[in-house]
Amino acid sequence: MAVHGVGLQINATTLAMVDDVDPGLYNFSEVLCDSVAAPLDCGYVIDPAARPVMEQLAARHPLLAHGNHGNEFGYDPLDETPGVRRHIAIAHEMKSPWYADHMFFGFRESAFMWSSPLQFSRLEIERVAGRAAALQDRMKLPLLHENAFYYARFPGSEIEEAEFIAGLVERAQTYLLLDLHNCYSNSVNFPDYDHWKFLKTIPLDRVIEIHLAGGEQIEDWYHDFHNHYVPEPVWEMLEYVLKHASRLEAVTLEVQGPAHSAKSHAVMPDWPFMVSNDLKRARQLWDSIRGPGGRA
Ligand SMILES: [Fe+2]
């Protein structure tokens, strides 16, 4: 079986409820490389304690590799980053058809930090594209960039995020993981960020994967906590992208809650129902636009 159709990201939260969600509702499991990677100062790449879980997941569905803390777009030498030293081998071990990572600014000393966006500037397109092309060469797999949720733009940003992404994939000949909830969340929080303009600016023909999730409004900020149903505007965006992204292979649901942010509320008893409901809705939307055969 190939990675294709609607899938579920496996993390600490969804792993705990995986037996309560019908495995027939999803076609693949997305696995976070960092959750199975061995420390950088040991002689093996996959933590032996993580192998049994990987094997159980692989027995049910094809696996898809996703990286959060690869640090490939910071300033450390590329060959010293976790992206090269751990994620390449892990992605191939999973037989993943591609590797996706966030467009985060990261380096060794900031590896614990989450969601530090790149500077959206023309100079950074050149620098990041060089590293992205080099990583894709080393990967021997398509490299997908995931657009980030962020709390503030990186100082010195002079162009819009969508323009940055379009320039990056054109220069590096890489691909995209379009996180629709990250895009929607940024449009809620930043008055000058238009999620429809974003979708019409990025090259949709480079989108291979989509992420869906829900979030939470706390006072004057909407947080990408992955702790609620996928909101209606994100379903509208998915419908548009399903119609226009010719290379699209996979739609992945992310649910994490407290495993994603300590400020998120606890896992609720109805979350297996929430996950099942959103997986069903994504499948129905896929089938209504691409036909049921398109997800097989
Ligand atoms: Fe995502």
Q: In whole angstroms, what is the distance from residue 82 CA to residue 187 CA?
A: 31
Model pLDDT, residue 269 = 81
Closest C-alpha to 207, from 166, 176, 235: 176
Domain ranges in the chain?
5-295
| The one-letter amino acid at 15 | L
The Å distance, Cα 43 to ligand 1 centre, comes to 30
Beta strands in 127-186 (DSSP E): 143-146, 175-179
Distance 178 CA to ligand 1 centre (A): 8
**Distance from Cα 9 to the centre of ligand 1, integer Å:** 9
Ligand 1: distance of its center to the CA of 181 in Å? Answer: 8
Tokens of residue 229, six digits: 């149903």
Q: Report the separation in Å between the CA atom of 226 and the middle of ligand 1, taken as the mean of its atom positions.
A: 9
Amino acid in the structure at residue 60: R
Residue with tokens 């303009």: 197
As a whole number of angstroms, the distance between CA 284 and CA 143 comes to 28
Residue 39 C-alpha to ligand 1 middle, in angstroms? 24
Would the pLDDT of 272 be above 80? yes
Q: CA–CA separation, 106 vs 112, rounded Å?
A: 9
8-state DSSP, 229 = P
Tens digit of pLDDT for each residue in 58-109? 999 999 999 987 788 988 999 999 999 999 999 999 999 999 998 888 777 6
The strand pairing partners of 177, in sequence order, are 146, 209
Q: Give the span between the Cα atoms of 276 and 8, in whole angstroms.
A: 10
- Banded pLDDT at 43 (limits 50, 70, 90): confident
As residues whose CB is below 5 A from the ion ligand 1, the structure lists: 179, 211
CATH number of 5-295: 3.20.20.150
Nearest alpha-carbon partner for 100 in 92, 109, 91? 91
Residue 179 alpha carbon to ligand 1 centre in Å: 5
Evaluate if residue 112 carries a pLDDT over 70.
Answer: no
pLDDT digits (tens, 9 = 90+) for 129-154: 999 999 999 999 999 999 999 999 99
| C-alpha 29 – ligand 1 centre gap (Å) | 14
- pLDDT interval class at 187 (50, 70, 90): very high
